[in-house]
A and B are shown apart, each in its own frame.
Chain A
Amino acid sequence: QRQLQESGPGLVKPSETLSLTCTVSGGSISSSSYFWTWIRQPPGRGPEWIANIYESGTTYFNPSLKSRVTISMDTSKNQFSLKLTSVTAADTAIYYCVSQAGPTKKIDSWGQGTLVTVSS
Chain B
Amino acid sequence: QIVVTQEPSLTVSPGGTVTLTCASSTGAVTSGNYPSWFQQKPGRVPRTLIYSTTNKDSWTPARFSGSLLGGKAALTLSGVQPEDEADYYCLFYYGGAWFFGGGTKLTVL
Contacts and interface: CB of A to CB of B under 8 A. Distances in A.
Interface string A92-120: 00001000000011111011110000000
Given A60-B96, A110-B45, 8 more contacts: A46-B89, A46-B102, A105-B51, A106-B36, A107-B48, A107-B91, A111-B45, A112-B45
6 contacts: A46-B101, A46-B102, A47-B89, A62-B98, A63-B1, A96-B45
A74 interface: no
A45 to B, nearest CB: 8
B107 to A, nearest CB: 17
Interface of B: 1, 34, 36, 38, 45-48, 51-52, 55, 57, 87, 89, 91, 93, 96-103
A67 interface: no
If over half of B's interface residues share one DSSP class (helix, strand or loop), that class is named, otherwise mixed; here it is strand
Contacts of A64: 1
Which one of B48, B93, B103 has the greatest number of beta carbons of chain A within 10 Å? B48
A23 B68 CA distance: 36
B100 A63 contact: no
B55 A106 contact: yes
Interface in A43-82: 46-49, 52, 60-64
B21 to A, nearest CB: 15
A62 to B, nearest CB: 7
A61 to B, nearest CB: 8
A107 B103 contact: no
A105 B32 CA distance: 11
A107 B36 CA distance: 8
Contacts of A52: 96, 98
